[in-house]
Amino acid sequence: MPAETHLFLCRSDNYGVLLHDAASGATAAIDAPEAAPIEAALKATGWKLTDILVTHHHADHTDGIKALKEKYKCRVVAPAAEASKIPAVDETVREGDKVKVGTLSGNVIETPGHTLGHIAYWFHGDKLAFVGDTLFSIGCGRVIEGTPEQMWRSLTKLRDLPNDTEIYCGHEYTAANIKFARTVEPNNKALAAREAQAKQQISRNEATIPVMIGEEKQANPFLRADVPEVAAGIGMAGKPAAEVFAEIRARKNKF
């Protein structure tokens, strides 16, 4: 049976998402920004929480864990490298580890940069990837603990996923990201199309995610630091991709 997902907003701009396996009844929350909206989502779907898959230790992704664990006795899976900063962890995972949610099978991809231990969960059979604060639609996370080189490498790992992989990210930042991206690539047609699409989604009060990685990599400047025209466009023709990425990220921080 195919995986089912349920997406909802938490806090001010965080996304919560439930991943459900109808065959077994298992349901995972990807991160736990806060307990109440996750409980409301469980009520709305009728699904029972069995697992929490944590992408990284920041409070806006972990604050809900304790209350949910107490109520549902669910398993908490977290990145090994930052498990000590995350409450109630049952299982730690690293690059290449498999994570089961009922009969669904995910792979752990280490994506350091935003935090040093940040991971993504890729459910290849269901063409879904949960990427936390590494990749956003038309943006990427701030490089808080790692280096720009690390973050660039992490983003290329996500870019290398099959084109038809649906990306679920941790925040609704798309409109602001597009505004900035237009300053980097004013003539990118895929970006212009994404802007039109996002405007429509927002005007209808819809989420702008998930996004297909195949489309995202045509329009997101943070996935395009090794495209010669992007480097040339910011006056860095011929420079290494990691340096071009670092400059784009620095400009976004000041934008």
Does position 133 bind Fe ion by CB under 5 A?
A: yes
Which residues, 136 to 175, sit near Fe ion by CB under 5 A? 170
Strand pairing category for 75-79 and 119-123: unpaired
Q: Is 133 a catalytic residue?
A: yes
Shortest Cβ distance from residue 61 to Zn ion (Å)? 6
Catalytic residue selected from 20, 57, 58, 118: 58
Is it true that the peptide bond before 210 is cis, omega within 30 degrees of 0? yes
Name the segment binding Zn ion (CB under 5 A); options: 45-53, 131-139, 157-165, 193-201: 131-139
Integer Cα distance of 72 and 74 in angstroms: 5
Please report whether residue 60 would count as binding Fe ion according to CB under 5 A: yes
Regarding 31 and contact with Zn ion (CB under 5 A), the answer is no
- Is there a catalytic annotation at residue 60? yes
| Annotated catalytic residue within 21, 61, 118, 126 | 61
Is 171 catalytic? The answer is yes
Say if residue 221 is exposed, middle or buried (CB neighbours under 10 Å; 0-12, 13-18, 19+).
buried
The answer to whether residue 63 forms part of the interface with Zn ion (CB under 5 A) is: no
Residue 134 CB, shortest distance to Zn ion, in Å, is 9
The minimum distance between CB 55 and Fe ion, in angstroms, equals: 9
Among 20, 57, 58, 69, binds Zn ion (CB under 5 A): 58
Contact between 118 and Zn ion per CB under 5 A: no
CB atoms within 10 A of CB 67: 17
CB nearer to Fe ion: give 21 or 133.
133
In the complex, least distance from residue 2 CB atom to Zn ion, rounded to whole angstroms: 29
Question: Is the Cβ–Cβ distance between 59 and 29 less than 8 Å?
Answer: no
Exposure of 79 in the CB half-sphere (CA atoms within 13 A): 27
Please indicate whether residue 61 is annotated as part of the active site: yes
Specify the residue, 108 or 191, whose C-beta has the smaller distance to Zn ion: 108
Please indicate whether residue 58 is annotated as part of the active site: yes
CB 52 within 8 A of CB 29: yes
**Sites for Fe ion among residues 89-108 (CB under 5 A):** none
Q: Is 133 in the site for Zn ion (CB under 5 A)?
A: yes
How many Cα atoms within 13 Å fall on the side-chain side of residue 214?
6
Query: Nearer to Fe ion by C-beta: 47 or 130?
Result: 130
Provide, rounded to whole angstroms, the least separation between the CB of residue 83 and Zn ion: 16
Q: What is each CA distance from 192 to 37, 65, 111, 133, 187, in whole angstroms?
A: 33, 39, 28, 24, 8
Active site residues: 56, 58, 60-61, 114, 133, 171
Q: Contact residues for Zn ion (CB under 5 A)?
A: 58, 133
Residues near Fe ion (CB under 5 A) are 60, 133, 170
